[in-house]
Structure 1
Amino acid sequence: MTGPHDSWEGTRALVTGFGVSGAAAADTLQHLGAEVVVVDERAPDGAAAERAQILQTLGVELRLGPGSTSTFPDACDLVVTSPGWRPTADLLQQAAARDVPVWGEVELAWRLRGPEAPPWLCITGTNGKTTTVQMSEAILQAAGLRAVAVGNVGRPVVEAVMDPQPLDVLAVELSSFQLHWTHSLAAESAVVLNVADDHLDWHGSLDAYAGAKGRVYEHVQRACVYNVQDPATEHLVRQADVQEGARAIGFTLGVPGLSMLGVVDGVLADRAFTEERRSSAVELGAVSDLDDDSPHQVANALAAAALTRAHGVPHTAVRDGLRAFRGGPHRRSLVVERDGVRWVDDSKATNPHAALASLQGVDSAVWIAGGLAKGASFDDLVATARERLRAVVLIGTDAPLISQALRRHAPDVPVVEVGNGHNGAMDVMGRAVEAAGGLARPGDTVLLAPGCASMDQFRDYGARGDAFADAVRAGTSQG
């Protein structure tokens, strides 16, 4: 059962979860001839309902809605699970007890590659994954390669693998959830950008979470790229079982050592992929070429440069790709500036590590934070950023957790907790914006960098950012 054209007839596959990746896996398996059953406790609506109707027409058996995951199908040969499903889920436990293999959609995609399949450049980390994978895509395309960003960034990997249009290389964003369910992945090159507390409720511990991230380095062919400023990433490289000849390549915001990329007098410098690396470096462009020259964004650019240089792109393609790159929405996006106050949407900051990076980019912040903390602690963030906090406005389920950290480490910072409100999430965000406006002074930045996931009140981080921007603009028009 390998290759995009091999038949899976006679195989009975269970797909757990009917999100984007689950639907893509079910569609692919059915196309290959497998008998497919899909289960999900959530009843489909909107686009999911349309996908369900199409798959049912094709012959996929759908068991969707409350109670649908209570029974393990008979004669099941394979389980393909969606990233959100925890290993402790009953169906996955039953699969293990029956010795039925459990793959993720990424593992399925890897096993379906044909002999002419494009190599994978894989990106993971607590923060910066989406930006780095999109930067990598821009650099590869600037080199004239047919390259796409796939995976956790949006398009399922299995769709790209099955695409009849030939590709030269895939830039693959991988979450810790996706990596947990990989077994045979062997990327051409891979990077762990950073490791910080996140998704501890899913993995159970920081060690387990870091271990899942470290799977991206297993069997790497060319380069394991690590963050010199984050020793945990280098430790994961040292633990990995890589292919003979694979190199360890560091990236740093300082002057690069041998086999590193870094910054010299505002220039992005490569001392890893040049024959003269012992005595000199290749210029890859300037920090000023970047749309956002904040430290974490420079680090992302260096990581993307390292991956693509390992693939063999010329230094001019790195420069041109990074110059052309523009970050996506909800990533330190300026909504408006009025009365000397900047209102910035960084809803993509869904954990404390990302929120701290955002706070370190401003001098004085009225910080809007809260949501689902996913088991993370906010003590280090508050202790580090307290001198930058004018005030804090808290929303969401785990607001008390952040409030406690503030009392311990920044007791003099004013804190306003906004309740759930009577009219849903929009009402909450409207009152949060109103409270922040009352606390801000000229020169401040009102910063939505929640440090938490959004699903307690919003569909996703994008909907949360949109609600913030709408509330800010409504306040502007009224003012």
Structure 2
Amino acid sequence: MTSTNPLAWLPAADRYSPWREASVVVAGLGTSGFAAADALLELGARVIVLDDLDSDENRDKATLLEHLDAVVRLGPGSSATMPKATDLVITSPGWRPDYPLLAQATAQDVPIWGDIELAWRLMHPDRIVPWLGVTGTNGKTTTTQMLDSMLRAAGLKSAAVGNIGRPVIEAINDEVPYDVFAVELSSFQLHWAHSLELHSAVVLNVHADHLEWYGPWAGGGDAAMDGYRADKARIYHNVRHSCVYNVAEPVTEKMVEQAEVIEGARAIGFTLGIPSVSMMGVVDDLLVDRAFVEQRRDSALPLANVSDVHPNAPHNIENALAAAGLARSFGVPGPAVAQGLRDLKLGGHRIATVATIDGVKWVDDSKATNPHAANSSMRAFESIVWIAGGQTKGTSFDELVQTHASKLRAAIVLGIDRQVVAEALHRYAPDVPLIVIDRTDPTTAMDEAVQAAAAFAESGDTVLLAPGGASKDMWPGYAARGDDFAAAVAKLPGGGTR
């Protein structure tokens, strides 16, 4: 049952609303769920937290929240039924709409918000910080980090928040008077966000991913992909200043054209080629701005050298241009764009060279967890011994293999969905030597994959771990998979040579 007296103020709720009147269910006790529950308790709401995982970490969080008067239920079945008199559900991003708790809320007209929606509401009316939003199938985290670094280089108090790891709600409650947030947004987060009005936003690219999330409730097949695209497009709605899109991917420009934006918002493209008016692009090894300069019809402002981008593979230059577009929309001067790129130290497992042995480069791109991400790194090399596999999440490897078949000296596949990759190779690269690793122990499987790759690789080749699949079939995450790859390479003769 829902509340007998629905809260009239809830549709327009903000920080100053009478939250003490509200009974709020927080679905999931991950990073975002804990932050949401903590913020709501501070405002006096009655909070019930539900999570089917009864882990040591969740029990520690539960103890903290219970001291603040929350009710926390952990363990299998805890989230199967929506508590009576629920006024609002705050869901963790990964929970699908057909999950029983959320399906019950929908059937009973109980509003469902994500942590991003809650953060946007609680920022108003007294803690408003402009958001520069980043989404896309691949490159979100790198672009968000680039953007944050550019903003900081301009002397602005910035925070990189959202899907990048730190909940926006935490930053809103900081003592720091931020000037701007660089916000990474996943399709899951955007699905549950209804009220966002970002200063500027970008969709970097859109390719098949997370179809296992959309398929079951959206209808599968084309409907799953349509749902995924629609959620990505949400980032542009109500944008106030600039909608940045990828010229090489017309679907992103179409999203801009179809978005209901605030009057006066501009469409800004980015391209690896020479930019047209209102675009960011590349001219003579320079990243240039032909969008935010007065004389853009006949000139462009140099922002940075291509060599300022690390690594300067094509997809990463695109990330830098997208970040620059967002930064320039917020008034960041040109020199700060270059300085931000030079200052940036990215996390590992993204096209990271772990060793060079007898002329063979060993590259860890474990973060390439879908075929499009794998394509981005494969574009950067000419002769590849490819290590692939993992959780393919309903995606196809056919196009990826067709595109790069001529570059492949050999392929080694492992992980739970290894046959998905193997079958694509059989269809479109039948002459490429293929090794299938059936081991399920992660360390042993990676050792065998690396040894097999070493047997095929010749001087001038790149052995590329670009799995195209997620890692949690065998590893805790993509970082652990990449660490095992680096460890296995280190065991080879000469493996300590960078």
Q: Could you state the TM-score of these two structures normalised by the residue count of structure 1?
A: 0.97
SS in 2 for 1:226: strand
Deviations 1:193-251 (A, max 9, x none): 00111111112321111111000000000000000000000010011000000000000
Task: Look up the equivalent residue of 1:154 and give its one-letter code.
Answer: G
Task: Look up the equivalent residue of 1:140 and give its one-letter code.
Answer: L
Partner residue in 1 for 2:369: 350
Query: Are the aligned partners of 2:81 and 2:100 in contact in 1 as well (CA < 8 Å)?
Result: no
Task: Calculate the aligned-residue CA RMSD, in Å.
Answer: 1.4
Task: Look up the equivalent residue of 1:83 and give its one-letter code.
Answer: P
Task: Look up the equivalent residue of 1:198 and give its one-letter code.
Answer: D
Partner residue in 1 for 2:152: 141
Partner residue in 2 for 1:296: 315
Query: Are the aligned partners of 2:91 and 2:115 in contact in 1 as well (CA < 8 Å)?
Result: yes
- Is 1:72 paired with 2:72? no
Partner residue in 1 for 2:116: 106
Q: Structure 2: where are the runs of 5+ without partners?
A: 1-9, 216-223
Query: Are the aligned partners of 1:290 and 1:323 in contact in 2 as well (CA < 8 Å)?
Result: yes
Task: Look up the equivalent residue of 1:28 and give its one-letter code.
Answer: A
**How many angstroms apart in 2 are the aligned matches of 1:392 and 1:453?**
18
**How many angstroms apart in 2 are the aligned matches of 1:443 and 1:280?**
41
Could you tell me which of 369, 382, 387 is aligned with 2:401? Answer: 382
Query: Are the aligned partners of 2:361 and 2:462 in contact in 1 as well (CA < 8 Å)?
Result: yes
CA apart distance, 1:451: 0.5
Partner residue in 2 for 1:324: 343
- Structure 1 residues 56, 471: CA separation in 2 closer, same or farther (over 3 Å shift)? farther
5-14 or 92-101: bigger deviation: 5-14
**How many angstroms apart in 1 are the aligned matches of 2:15 and 2:442?**
44
The number of aligned residues is: 476
- Is 1:432 paired with 2:449? yes
- Is 1:187 paired with 2:198? yes
Partner residue in 2 for 1:158: 169
Q: Structure 1: where are the runs of 5+ without partners?
A: none
Query: Are the aligned partners of 1:274 and 1:281 in contact in 2 as well (CA < 8 Å)?
Result: yes
Query: Are the aligned partners of 2:489 and 2:495 in contact in 1 as well (CA < 8 Å)?
Result: no
SS in 1 for 2:150: helix
**How many angstroms apart in 1 are the aligned matches of 2:314 and 2:478?**
23
**How many angstroms apart in 1 are the aligned matches of 2:87 and 2:480?**
39
Q: How does 1:452-463 map to 2 (within 5 A)?
A: 452-463=469-480
**How many angstroms apart in 1 are the aligned matches of 2:29 and 2:443?**
27
Query: Are the aligned partners of 2:386 and 2:408 in contact in 1 as well (CA < 8 Å)?
Result: yes
CA apart distance, 1:48: 3.7
Deviations 1:176-200 (A, max 9, x none): 1111111011100000000111111
Partner residue in 2 for 1:96: 106
Could you tell me which of 60, 64, 78 is aligned with 1:50? Answer: 60
SS in 1 for 2:20: coil
Query: Are the aligned partners of 1:4 and 1:161 in contact in 2 as well (CA < 8 Å)?
Result: no
**How many angstroms apart in 2 are the aligned matches of 1:408 and 1:346?**
25
- Is 1:118 paired with 2:137? no
Partner residue in 2 for 1:130: 141
Could you tell me which of 191, 204, 208 is aligned with 1:197? Answer: 208
Q: How does 1:22-61 map to 2 (within 5 A)?
A: 22-45=33-56, 47-61=57-71
- Structure 1 residues 477, 54: CA separation in 2 closer, same or farther (over 3 Å shift)? farther
Partner residue in 2 for 1:225: 244
**How many angstroms apart in 2 are the aligned matches of 1:367 and 1:351?**
14
SS in 2 for 1:449: strand
Deviations 1:348-380 (A, max 9, x none): 101000101111111111111111111111000
Partner residue in 2 for 1:82: 92
Query: Are the aligned partners of 1:355 and 1:449 in contact in 2 as well (CA < 8 Å)?
Result: yes
